[in-house]
Structure 1
């Protein structure tokens, strides 16, 4: 039965771009059938929502408007004033989250347990507001959307050889409604909804926004008619619900207006945020294709002051996963985990591409002593890493994962820590060191968490909120 919308969902505030001294924003709404949400109002005018997509019993709307990028301001909707801490010019705070769900039964979890860390993040914003909310991948766990349809019920183990156009059209409808249901339920959660109406979001996708292991699965699965239908619907839903847009209407921050890849960049005073697309072009051999690399190469040539935050949905700095990969391939009952390891930059299949990205980051930092920090999720653990770039420069990586996904066993965290003790140096002369969070004894922390990034008088620092251990001490960057 299609998901019923009983009350309007929204506004979900999304950052389209930073243009001069303005924040270009989209406000997303979901209403029942063809109910029209009231207009957005702000100091400079009003904006009526326009319909972006129709679903079985609901409509998705968007209103575009702008607010100052140099001070706190507000907008008004449906009787409520929403304050936005939009000053990107001086001291500011950002929040980073990832892995907002679980693979099995996520929609059946009790809300206060599932969204406990969202509740804490909401209270942290009330204490000291965030200017932006960065989402680093797996905003939804769509692994179960393929269930319930004849063509996809055995995905990815088996796919039909030659489904008819009519069957594929029916599959598309089925998947489209299942994706809609997940996004609608997540955005209606009060803990997230309160924050999302007041803090502009920027989002990057990862595999679970499509399906577990997308791009690392065998090619005869991903390139099948069923696989391509799944990807097309996931992509449409990603653009709609995570960016408030549709094909051929991408905001200016996207690196390729055609959407060949969905990487993007934001440029604000003293701050650049880069989010390459690590899924659209991914195959079992490649993480990014030519268009994606073209965006990153162009960004590496830019003259940028201040700090770059590089969002890598999969951690860019990590231990010798290739050793674990070799072990798993040799043990038949462990081979089902091969796709998970191939997802990593550290996979032996991606070794050359990993070196290319690390060299790009090194050269980017060396050009003018520019600071670059990677922020990542995906692994359901919290950790950090440092790569020595030479010339007294260091490349920091901060991993925060997950905001809703429950932590794996502590034994897995200890195993990864032991693997990290072996060291790794994919670029000669630039060793990688996996380090504990401030105040933690082990390299990986098995607790739900989110990350806060703060700029004070031009200097950056990071702080994690861990579900059981609480706030870490600030880490200077």
Structure 2
């Protein structure tokens, strides 16, 4: 590949925390087979291992631990500071929707990454210990362009593609995914964060294609759909988790890899992210492996943070969904609504997940963080076990929708929702705002100080909100 990599830049991944030691991976991408230099930490040096190759690109991984109090690591003469004290005050960042459907690679970088620059400024002021990425880290909608098998996919399906054509499609898609991922992780305003803040990511549909899992089964399960998913999954593992297929059993809760969700425990807080895409079908959000991750979560500490790529608490979208399917001109939006927990098709699964949130809430505070809707908002589920908070921060680079869309959602939210009759869901404005949805690009910060958790939205025009207790 001719991808311009520029200077070598590390990408840092959170692998776990135990006995006051932070386990980390670093991924480095280079041209050619020559290994890059070692990473140096206080107690020694670490050489890279080659984990993947594609058309002249080499992907190298370093594995090392840092004890509490260690300053970070050194690579090729540059020092990278890492927060290693995780038992006391703690600061996390949450982002989602890092791109847009069409023309994302052609955008002016400073405009595209303006909110990444602000997030970097926040990191310089008060360093983050973790970067949580809640879905749509890339927008892969255009990777299918330029190949005969996918130029008109999914509307025009070739019944039985030739094996050679499918093999050629696989290479075409891999080039497209790698080009987008490299552009994202090498963006100057984000590269420092990727090098200094360990990341934990879960994917959503645009990391595969728009509406993946809510498309008709003959599209998703056909030979072209199978190739698209296989390549997207391999690239998600590599770029977003720093893993390859053979690593799954050692690093993810589901050793089969059917569900790529994860769970980690830090001092005083449990982090869990079910994978809502790998097993999704039009009538299902998760399979048995995904549900085992959720039901097997036994919180340790006084707070659980759940990453749900699609908002878990939301308005009565099922009303709109039933209306739209009756209007032929509007049926194209059915897949978007089928994507949501609130779809009438997913009602039983939604109730089950809300019941699991109540179970977790009985052991301590629960905060759900979500993206996906390109707006900022918040919600509460008021249960007998205690209030469950949901914080939606969506669109760190995706342009916001029009104000009319936000107003319409706000009106729908005014009707309220209670899929569990004893636990009503209420959509609420952000601190200092009057409307329930804010149509601005944004990111979220979560802070623990003296044992007290607070959240704060950072909005492109309105600026940061007042901190909100959780």
TM-score (norm 2): 0.98
Q: Does 1:61 align with 2:60?
A: yes
Q: Does 1:43 align with 2:42?
A: yes
Q: Does 1:308 align with 2:307?
A: no
Structure 1 runs of 4+ aligned residues shifted over 6 Å read none
Per the alignment, residue 359 of structure 1 pairs with: 355
Per the alignment, residue 457 of structure 1 pairs with: 450
Q: Report the 3-state secondary structure (helix = DSSP H, G, I; strand = E; otherwise coil) of the residue aligned with 1:250.
A: helix
In 2, distance between residues paired with 1:25 and 1:304? 21
Q: Report the 3-state secondary structure (helix = DSSP H, G, I; strand = E; otherwise coil) of the residue aligned with 1:185.
A: helix
Aligned-residue CA RMSD in angstroms?
A: 1.2
Q: Report the 3-state secondary structure (helix = DSSP H, G, I; strand = E; otherwise coil) of the residue aligned with 1:24.
A: strand
From 364, 368, 379, the counterpart of 1:374:
368
Size of the alignment, in residue pairs?
470
What stretches of structure 2 of length at least 5 have no aligned partner?
none
Q: Does 1:17 align with 2:16?
A: yes
Per the alignment, residue 328 of structure 1 pairs with: 324
**Is contact 2:270-2:299 (8 Å) kept?**
no
Question: 1:403-458 CA distances to partner (integer Å, 9 max, x unpaired)?
Answer: 10010001100000000001100001111000000001100000000000000111
**Is contact 1:16-1:251 (8 Å) kept?**
no
Q: Report the 3-state secondary structure (helix = DSSP H, G, I; strand = E; otherwise coil) of the residue aligned with 2:420.
A: coil
**Is contact 1:130-1:199 (8 Å) kept?**
yes
In 2, distance between residues paired with 1:4 and 1:81? 26
Q: Does 1:471 align with 2:464?
A: yes
From 151, 154, 164, the counterpart of 2:152:
154
Q: Report the 3-state secondary structure (helix = DSSP H, G, I; strand = E; otherwise coil) of the residue aligned with 2:10.
A: strand
Q: Report the 3-state secondary structure (helix = DSSP H, G, I; strand = E; otherwise coil) of the residue aligned with 2:325.
A: helix
Per the alignment, residue 415 of structure 2 pairs with: 422
**Is contact 1:253-1:266 (8 Å) kept?**
no
Q: Report the 3-state secondary structure (helix = DSSP H, G, I; strand = E; otherwise coil) of the residue aligned with 1:126.
A: helix
**Cα distance, 1:177 vs structure 2:** 1.0
Question: 1:330-369 CA distances to partner (integer Å, 9 max, x unpaired)?
Answer: 1111111110100000000100000000001112212x3x
**How does 1:84-233 map onto structure 2 within 5 Å?**
84-233=82-231
**Is contact 1:136-1:377 (8 Å) kept?**
yes
**How does 1:228-267 map onto structure 2 within 5 Å?**
228-250=226-248, 252-267=250-265
**Cα distance, 1:303 vs structure 2:** 5.0
Question: 1:380-411 CA distances to partner (integer Å, 9 max, x unpaired)?
Answer: 000000001115x1000000001100100011
**Cα distance, 1:114 vs structure 2:** 0.2
Q: Does 1:440 align with 2:433?
A: yes
Question: 1:131-162 CA distances to partner (integer Å, 9 max, x unpaired)?
Answer: 00000000000010011111111121122110
In 2, distance between residues paired with 1:466 and 1:257? 39
What stretches of structure 1 of length at least 5 have no aligned partner?
none
Per the alignment, residue 79 of structure 2 pairs with: 81
Per the alignment, residue 384 of structure 1 pairs with: 378
Question: 1:161-218 CA distances to partner (integer Å, 9 max, x unpaired)?
Answer: 1011111111111111111111111111111101111110000000000000000000
**Cα distance, 1:296 vs structure 2:** 0.9
Change (3 A) 1:26 1:408: same
From 69, 72, 87, the counterpart of 1:71:
69
**Is contact 1:98-1:137 (8 Å) kept?**
yes
**Cα distance, 1:305 vs structure 2:** 2.2
Question: 1:88-146 CA distances to partner (integer Å, 9 max, x unpaired)?
Answer: 10111000000000000000000000000000000110011110000000000001001
Change (3 A) 1:311 1:452: same
